[in-house]
Structure 1
């Protein structure tokens, strides 16, 4: 077994590999960029090596520097994680030349499966079902349009070297094919240094289901499937194992084809064969990822296997001690990806400092894989993932229940995040029923995500919580010594809670052993049990016998409360104070309709208009890039450009003015 390994990655996956290495008694070396000098993976590793400046092409993608780091530290093997160099055959070869083991497959398997065009040809030869399409290299936009028309719309345009949803566009007509080819080509070039794309038929009502494989070069096993259909912009959001759609016969057929493809390329390590599955359980090969998947934890929870450990053991020359009959799927696991993005602003990236970061406590049913910590920084240079929240249950409903509870407990401040959106997804009847396709998010949130998409909850629960918190503060104020005679604070029981714009008369009295409160809201009883104390961000207890977890932020004289993805502003008044609050004038927000504002922090790549120019609704105004994704900003109405406030190359903050209109 190796004595020391280097992890050629960052963030949560680097931390994940380090945990298993430590469990196995293996020393670890972290590599890092200047932006990650204080990152969690660097703190967890036994040694760290600085690679260079923040941009990945000047740090995490530098093969020579990483190989040299192995030589300098005596690392005998490298785990590449996912992304970066994980599927780079040149990296594997460079390590091999120095006698350093690559914890993954050999260069030929990486090359064969890393090229989406060649992999489909190999899959077909191995007897694997493939999607109809054009696998050749497309020379220009007009040829792309012609090919799309011949295949028949809708078509999917994909970068040959792509992954993670980058360099991928769906086209329903000629105009979208033309624009999609150009965007996919540009994105592929900037993300992968390879601008080749291919076009294939888009399967309608599709599910994205993948098979985990594990091979030592002789024995090859399929380790169940993962349902990955809940995607946004071709990026997975929620994954689960097993799939609620796959029956044992289909699982066996998909697994056997995945094994056949793995054997065709002499695969040796953990890998994933992805399939697209239609409504009739017909399945077609999509691609093979020759690395560890982001969503591997759900497979680990339902099988009891440590996939990272097996990758390391296989790379060290050990053989699998498992047979196909040993692979049993027990219970249900679900993973939610926590991203630094604003779901209320069309999921645009959010960067900055994690002022507070407190994940839910881990247990037999809750696991958190993360690469950040309280006070850490979410950089604009890398993927916006904050953490992966994984829950486990005896069945699918139990896993969903655990996930909803854990999302309520996940306390993050300082950046925007997608937890409200994830809570909304978990509450959708269609999701709970397992009626999933890759179009789920587009169909369920056709107009984008808003507060209206959050599950309707009894507002009385938050009213009761606000009333009890206020009572605790009032009790403390009344107990302060040295109060002026005749001006002492008296404990009152009658209050009015304003929740957003609604007012609720309440009565709050202590009951029982001091942890119980008798709350009456508009004449109805809401007993509350809690041991909440001042400054605690989570109010955990029961309201009317129902378990609740409410996040509490102080806000002036009131509170901002978060529960089940939704947030509400609560202010507690005396009855007279409530009367006055009702007649207070409201401050109107400023009119920003004459400005194009940057919807996210990022780089202003280009400005497509000039001062004095007339623009039409839908016309491109500017392009902003953040976290390797291009975002095209278009005019919402006709108008005339008055002033350009920012030049290409500028680093923009959120809501910074780019263009002003007449």
Structure 2
């Protein structure tokens, strides 16, 4: 077995590989850029080597620099993680020439299947059902428009060397093809150093389901079930689960056997993933093969008990697979939610900054419940603009899908993140959405259910009553603490009032709060009551409560007159006042937000790629105004209504902060 491996990656996947290597008794080497000098993967590894400036194209994807780190440390093998150099055949060739093992597939397999155009041709030759499309090289936007018209709209514009949603666009007409083609080429060039583009038919109402394969260099190959990856935003997976709630055993077997046959056809040896589009009739079509470890691999590990990183290391060491297809069993249900540094209230635009608070839920490994959090950050660390915005993968496992979903709801509510915009509220909203709960989602789920963007969650009446009761009980605890500290009252519990008015989300609840063994009993003016217990004390930012025997987890920040409460995707102000205060509050004026309707504000920290308008130009609704690049993605900002440009405050190459003024309108 290898004595030392280098991880040619960063963030959570580097930390993930280090954990398995450590368990196997293998020493690890991390590499890092200027931006990652204090990163978690650097701290976790046994050794660390600096390889250059923050931009990935000057550090993590510069093969010569990685090879220098390998030579300097004497690493015997390299795990590439995903992204960066993981599917770069030149890197695998450089390792082979150096006599260093690549913990991934052979170079020929990477070349055959890592390129989407080549892989689709091979799949067609092997008799695999594929989606109609044009697999040749496309010279320019004009040719792209012509090809798209022949295929038939809608079409998918994809980067040949792409992955992770980079360089990918859906186009519904000629204008969107012309515009999307160039942006896809730009993103592909920046992310992969390869701007080749191909176009294929976009299958409407599809499900994205992938098969995990595992092969060795001795001709053995197995599949480890499937992963449902249909919940996507901008072609980027957000929620994954295993198994799929849609497949039956016959379809699973057919997809698995086809995936293994395809892998064997190219001499595959390592862990890999074959991705399919599956329609409503359970007909499946080959999309691509990812010749690397997938981001969402933890859910497969949780239902099979197989450590995929360990298997990759053993295969790279020349060992045959220790398990056969008959040994693979799928037990229970696992769900993964990707925590992104992006603001769901600003169209999911990237967010950067310092993690002033980062407290994941406790990891659990019990017979009936597992909670796992793969992460590469820590409290006080910086989220950089140079890399992918994903900062953690929160996973839960339980015997049934319903139990796994409920475990995920509690875990999301228990996850504390402050200092940056993040998508925790949106993930909670997905977990509660009836379409997701039913398992009947497609890849259009997010676009269909939130067509105008995410604006938070409106809780139903029952949830509001539960939160109102919990906050009233918490307020009582805080009042008792306050009077005790003041020293003004001897019998403080009697002196704290029982009658309170709780207002939240536009609702008013007149309640009476009384002591109850182990907690409080909160009575409502309709004669009903709820019993509340918990160990919350003033100053705690997380309240793990029980309301009438049912768990309720609240992120609770003290504000004047009450709490800022975040729970199940909702972010609401809860005010707890005595009746007199509540009556007086009705006369308070609401604070009016400033008028920014005549300004185009930068929605996230980023770099101006281009400005599409000039002073004096008349613009129309939907017209592109400028392009901002952040976290390897180009974002086109468009006019929301007709207007005239009064002033242009920024130009190409400018680095802008959030809410910095780009344009002014007359």
TM-score range for the pair, normalised by the shorter chain length: over 0.9
TM-score (norm 2): 0.96
Partner of 1:410: 415
Superposed CA offset, 1:503-560 (max 9, x none)? 3222222221xx3112122242111111112222211121122211111112234210
Alignment of 1:305 with 2:302, yes or no, is: no
Partner of 1:541: 545
Is this contact kept in 2: 1:424–1:455, CA < 8 A? no
Alignment of 1:83 with 2:83, yes or no, is: yes
Quote the offset at 1:215 in angstroms.
0.6
Superposed CA offset, 1:475-524 (max 9, x none)? 11222365499999932222222324433222222221xx3112122242
Alignment of 1:171 with 2:157, yes or no, is: no
1:492 alignment partner, one of 494, 497, 502: 497
Partner of 2:195: 195
Partner of 1:269: 270
Is this contact kept in 2: 1:208–1:276, CA < 8 A? yes
Counterparts in 2 of 1:487 and 1:304: CA distance versus 1, 3 Å: closer
For 1:456 and 1:175, the matched residues in 2 are separated by 45
Is this contact kept in 2: 1:552–1:561, CA < 8 A? yes
Q: Which moved more, 1:382-391 or 1:128-137?
A: 128-137
Q: Which moved more, 1:495-504 or 1:6-15?
A: 495-504
Partner of 1:399: 404
Is this contact kept in 2: 1:229–1:236, CA < 8 A? yes
Partner of 1:242: 243
Partner of 1:213: 213
Alignment of 1:371 with 2:376, yes or no, is: yes
Is this contact kept in 2: 1:380–1:602, CA < 8 A? yes
Quote the offset at 1:343 in angstroms.
1.0
For 1:488 and 1:274, the matched residues in 2 are separated by 62
Alignment of 1:469 with 2:474, yes or no, is: yes
Partner of 2:118: 118
Partner of 1:180: 180
Alignment of 1:431 with 2:432, yes or no, is: no
SS of the equivalent of 2:189 reads helix
Is this contact kept in 1: 2:134–2:147, CA < 8 A? yes
Partner of 1:224: 225
Is this contact kept in 1: 2:605–2:655, CA < 8 A? yes
Alignment of 1:575 with 2:616, yes or no, is: no
Alignment of 1:646 with 2:650, yes or no, is: yes
SS of the equivalent of 1:166 reads coil
Counterparts in 2 of 1:138 and 1:453: CA distance versus 1, 3 Å: farther
Alignment of structure 1 residues 449-460 onto 2, 5 Å? 449-452=454-457, 457-460=462-465
Alignment of 1:479 with 2:484, yes or no, is: yes
Quote the offset at 1:425 in angstroms.
1.1
Quote the offset at 1:249 in angstroms.
1.3
Alignment of 1:587 with 2:591, yes or no, is: yes
Superposed CA offset, 1:543-598 (max 9, x none)? 12221111111223421011111011012222211111110111211111010001
Quote the offset at 1:452 in angstroms.
4.8
Is this contact kept in 2: 1:455–1:564, CA < 8 A? no
Alignment of 1:520 with 2:520, yes or no, is: no
Quote the offset at 1:615 in angstroms.
2.2
Q: Structure 1: which 4+ aligned runs deviate by more than 6 Å?
A: 453-456, 484-489
Partner of 1:156: 156
Superposed CA offset, 1:190-232 (max 9, x none)? 2222121111122222111111110112211111111111111
Is this contact kept in 1: 2:480–2:493, CA < 8 A? no
Quote the offset at 1:305 in angstroms.
0.3
Superposed CA offset, 1:424-459 (max 9, x none)? 111121211111211111112222222256666521
For 1:524 and 1:327, the matched residues in 2 are separated by 52
Q: Which moved more, 1:636-645 or 1:47-56?
A: 636-645
Alignment of structure 1 residues 135-146 onto 2, 5 Å? 135-146=135-146
SS of the equivalent of 1:108 reads helix
For 1:534 and 1:583, the matched residues in 2 are separated by 29
Counterparts in 2 of 1:3 and 1:506: CA distance versus 1, 3 Å: same
Counterparts in 2 of 1:136 and 1:457: CA distance versus 1, 3 Å: farther
Q: CA RMSD in A?
A: 1.8
Alignment of 1:351 with 2:348, yes or no, is: no
Alignment of 1:48 with 2:53, yes or no, is: no
Partner of 1:507: 512
For 1:498 and 1:224, the matched residues in 2 are separated by 48
Alignment of 1:603 with 2:607, yes or no, is: yes
Partner of 1:621: 625
Is this contact kept in 2: 1:77–1:102, CA < 8 A? yes
For 2:37 and 2:468, the matched residues in 1 are separated by 44
Counterparts in 2 of 1:626 and 1:612: CA distance versus 1, 3 Å: same
Superposed CA offset, 1:414-433 (max 9, x none)? 11111111111111212111
Is this contact kept in 1: 2:12–2:376, CA < 8 A? yes
SS of the equivalent of 1:167 reads coil
For 2:415 and 2:286, the matched residues in 1 are separated by 36
For 1:301 and 1:182, the matched residues in 2 are separated by 40
For 2:493 and 2:13, the matched residues in 1 are separated by 57
Alignment of 1:252 with 2:225, yes or no, is: no
Q: Which moved more, 1:309-318 or 1:517-526?
A: 517-526
SS of the equivalent of 2:142 reads helix
Is this contact kept in 1: 2:532–2:547, CA < 8 A? yes
SS of the equivalent of 1:527 reads strand
Quote the offset at 1:618 in angstroms.
2.2
For 2:144 and 2:355, the matched residues in 1 are separated by 44
Counterparts in 2 of 1:120 and 1:453: CA distance versus 1, 3 Å: farther
For 2:560 and 2:71, the matched residues in 1 are separated by 57
SS of the equivalent of 2:451 reads coil
Superposed CA offset, 1:286-310 (max 9, x none)? 0000000000001001100000000
TM-score (norm 1): 0.97
For 1:240 and 1:455, the matched residues in 2 are separated by 27
Partner of 1:448: 453
Quote the offset at 1:178 in angstroms.
2.0
Is this contact kept in 2: 1:338–1:385, CA < 8 A? yes
For 1:454 and 1:489, the matched residues in 2 are separated by 34
